[in-house]
Structure 1
């Protein structure tokens, strides 16, 4: 058996990961038909069927899954080896396109981008604020940032910053007037600041205590789609808000807001940068990931 080329193996990883000739072809920059022929040639060369094909779908066979599992880390190691000599080529330059929700985008602007500007002045960090979960590859992004649990399994995730905790908050004036809710069910008699998700649906508040999970439909005088505005609405006494703790740090520290229902809040979640593991990592993206990892080292 002749050894397959690196291009053929990289193309197989793209097809097996996306489970679509069209999406893999868009990423690689070729025609789906060309990619399909290349995969058939690869299977003939290796003497084993790697992909199940129908008129509507493509998926890896058992042999394909085994090959995919071995190739993905190997390609990552190869990228890292190539990147290790990037410094000998001179200054790193280029643009890194990052997709991130607004709250995390603010952290990147404060903590990561200044490091990038100091270390690599010829690199531009292009951050697009996006609340929806999207396909970063087909949308033209180098990387995305999301909660670790919501990142697709075929991506490489780099956790950073301290874990994010969801909290319920309200102003002291509001709580003096209406009292602190003792359980999530008591929110039904309170004013709640609604959260509209990017999909247009209302977010249902999630609670957990001693293995008991509750989901509450929060109703109140205002609905918002931005956590910083939810914090402002809570400061103004419009009701109780359910937000990520990062958004309310300053108002909690100076006493404008108080936490409620602390014993009922879900466990903290990690935030991570994620990127495709089956494609070459450009030097500019590698530099950005290094800055992210350095931020993780400084967090408690």
Structure 2
């Protein structure tokens, strides 16, 4: 099949010229308004008439008037063209100032860690931006889902994404409640987990995550078992607090329950450090002001955050890394 590599003429070609002539009833004044020559204006209108299949203007040497076909065309084309101009201005407006709907794909467990401390302040700072948070553990296609950006653990972000650091690297901690540990021998080594009920995470791809550790200079993945499998870390933290078993979770999620005594940290010499949490978006996509405003707001709010909490210390160039 032979392809035509030329763009077909659009039904809109010549409409702006037609409307200008209809407004002024004069080709020269219409040409001056659009900053083109009278001959170019005449040719545009003539081409439009040929495509429509009817004369739109009645021309004499001294006047220009609309034919009946021209009147009908004007009555429909003028409001439609004005709506197109308004649509273009509305889209241009979103490209020039922070406004519109900002859609973020976020794991449930990250919502309290990242968004709750900043979202209220962001909404107050940018009242023309509406923030929509789609909380799900699924790895979504940002473009197909209509999202401006996503937030994920760094190790889960595709390498072709632009990533902006939201937290410092933090440890993955094994935790258990005092009730669970009462009467049980606390694990001292990784192999001791075989004697414990371990709460596990099912990843978005369907696999059950092993528990990663470091033993000296060696990386270790422990295959554990237990009574509960969850799809998000927040559920694991809650189950550990209730004494269902031990859980391995991001350090920031365990900080508060450890501080108030609901959980205790275990196997800390073997804790592996993850890269942290990142906001990410397609590298080839233009960053609209609404997303840029969110990035800058998070960076500013995190400037004095403690290690492991939300923080974006470091140069802007360094933050825009490709996570692997």
TM-score (norm 2): 0.62
Tell which deviates more after alignment, 167-176 or 109-118: 109-118
Map of 1:113 onto structure 2: 119
Is the 1:167–1:259 contact (alpha carbons within 8 Å) kept by the matching residues of 2? yes
- Counterparts of residues 236-275 of structure 1 (less than 5 Å): 236-275=242-281
Partner of 1:64: none
Alignment partner, residue 164 of structure 1: 170
Pairwise CA distance, 1:259: 0.7
* 1:151-192 deviation line (CA, Å, top 9, x unaligned): 222222110233332110001232231111111111111111
CA positional deviation for 1:242: 0.9
Partner of 1:98: 104
Q: What residue is the counterpart of 1:198 in the other structure?
A: 204
Assess if the C-alpha contact under 8 Å between 2:211 and 2:223 holds in 1.
yes
Whole-Å separation in 2 of the counterparts to 1:154 and 1:196: 25
Segments of 4+ in structure 1 off by > 3 A?
Answer: none
Q: Which residue in the other structure is 1:129 paired with? A: 135
Query: Does residue 1:225 correspond to 2:231, yes or no?
Result: yes
* Equivalent residue pairs, number: 218
Change (3 A) 1:172 1:203: same
Unmatched segments (≥5 aa) in structure 2: 7-92, 307-324
Q: CA RMSD in A?
A: 2.4
1:47-99: CA deviation from partner (whole Å, max 9, x where unpaired): xxxxxxxxxxxxxxxxxxxxxxxxxxxxxxxxxxxxxxx89x6x631011111
Q: Deviations over 1:26-67 (max 9, x none)?
A: xxxxxxx99xx79xxxxxxxxxxxxxxxxxxxxxxxxxxxxx
Cα displacement (A) at 1:273? 0.7
Q: Say whether the 8 Å CA contact 1:161–1:295 is kept in structure 2.
A: no
Conserved? CA contact 1:231–1:248, under 8 Å: yes
Residue of structure 1 equivalent to 2:159: 153
For 1:282, the equivalent position in structure 2 comes to 288
